[in-house]
Amino acid sequence: MKIAVLPGDGIGPEIVAQAVKVMEALRSEGLQIEMEYAHIGGAGYDAAGDPLPEATLKLAQESDAVLLGAVGGYQYDNLPRPQRPEQGLLRIRKVLNLFANLRPAMVYPELVSASSLKPELVSGLDILILRELTGDIYFGQPRGIRTLENGERQGFDTMHYSESEIRRVAHVGFQSAMKRSKKLCSVDKANVLDTSMFWREIVTEVGKEYPEVELSHMYVDNAAMQLVRAPKQFDVILTGNIFGDILSDEASMLTGSIGMLPSASLDANNKGLYEPCHGSAPDIAGKNIANPLATILSVAMMMRYTFAREDIAQRIENAVRKTLQQGYRTGDIAEAGMAKIGTAEMGDAVVAAL
């Protein structure tokens, strides 16, 4: 297992170090894991003047999987767009063709009360948001700021999806649904957008190849509402890049803390980039208080999707569950009166449980 480790910025290095502890523990049992580090984001800019240095991209291309912390920091906010940290992330996803972004949102019984919703709405929640990651308005050309004939300035972006882009992510969606409870909800804005009308047509067509999966369609505004009204009605949600960006962050709050949510971004051969859903949290960086569980759970997803080691994935997930059952909490998931532990201690607790 050749893994590129890209800690990135802010809390990235602290949380990735805990995930590395877990991989080292697995390696000490004989699992053949090879890890190599490289810079990305602001760290890439500091080291090589580029948020995705050539050496980092080469390492990522030569590896089976990439483990990433997070990118971004106040000190980089005023750089020209090509040098900004998030450009490194957008480029690595694009170059590696990581078009399928899987974000499970699961509520652990021990954390039900950390959710902002009533316990009965979220207890037992287990949904998967599948977001298309390399197309849509985030990548469409032309884009920019222009001056119209009447002298007024205008900002513009272009939304488009090609048939092949929709087909390949729809297949991932139906295949994921087949492994779960065989329900797929495709989310779009087909009442207003032509791109969405086309999305719906192609998803429906692909669905004919998966007769066992119950396919439904929902407008994104309604989906945003249903996610906080009755989230357990969903199993797999399939959606485009911009809608998925927003809905997956909304769904993260159902679970209590963004610090608990892992993600996987896969190409057509299950090569993947694995990272927590949250950002670099510069407000708490370097204080040993960030929650490393999303990053550790991202390693579990890596074992499941890239290396097809469901057994190891479940061991890591069970270790996290046990750690929570034992009462260990970082500040973001601790209830009033509960003892809090630091980032490194949480990593140690998971390794001990493993």
Binding region for ligand NAD (CB under 6 A):
11, 15, 70-73, 86, 89, 258-259, 275, 278-284, 290-291, 294, 332
One of 58, 77, 221, 287 is an active-site residue; which one? 221
Are the C-beta atoms of 296 and 320 separated by less than 8 Å?
Answer: yes
Closest to ligand NAD by CB, 270 vs 288, is: 288
Minimum distance, C-beta of residue 85 to ligand NAD, in the bound complex (Å): 6
348 labelled catalytic: no
332 labelled catalytic: no
340 labelled catalytic: no
Q: For residue 61, how far is the Cα from the chain centroid?
A: 20
The tokens of 94 are what? 């694009």
Task: Show contacts of 200-204: CB within 8 Å, 24+ apart.
Answer: 202/163, 202/166, 202/167, 202/170, 203/166, 203/170, 203/173, 203/238
One of 126, 245, 267, 348 is an active-site residue; which one? 245
Minimum distance, C-beta of residue 11 to ligand NAD, in the bound complex (Å): 6
The tokens of 195 are what? 């791109």
Are the C-beta atoms of 111 and 256 separated by less than 8 Å?
Answer: yes
Q: For residue 202, how far is the Cα from the chain centroid?
A: 25
Closest to ligand NAD by CB, 14 vs 235, is: 14
Using CA atoms, how far apart are residues 162 and 147, in angstroms rounded to an integer? Answer: 29
One of 9, 189, 210, 271 is an active-site residue; which one? 189
Minimum distance, C-beta of residue 216 to ligand NAD, in the bound complex (Å): 29
138 labelled catalytic: yes
One of 64, 126, 249, 267 is an active-site residue; which one? 249
Minimum distance, C-beta of residue 174 to ligand NAD, in the bound complex (Å): 27
Using CA atoms, how far apart are residues 316 and 298, in angstroms rounded to an integer? Answer: 10
Closest to ligand NAD by CB, 196 vs 298, is: 298
Using CA atoms, how far apart are residues 65 and 107, in angstroms rounded to an integer? Answer: 26
Measured in residues, the chain has a length of 354
221 labelled catalytic: yes
Are the C-beta atoms of 261 and 250 separated by less than 8 Å?
Answer: no
Minimum distance, C-beta of residue 189 to ligand NAD, in the bound complex (Å): 23
Please report the sign of the dihedral spanned by the C-alpha atoms of residue 175, residue 180, residue 181, residue 184. negative
One of 45, 76, 108, 138 is an active-site residue; which one? 138
Q: Which residues are catalytic?
A: 138, 189, 221, 245, 249
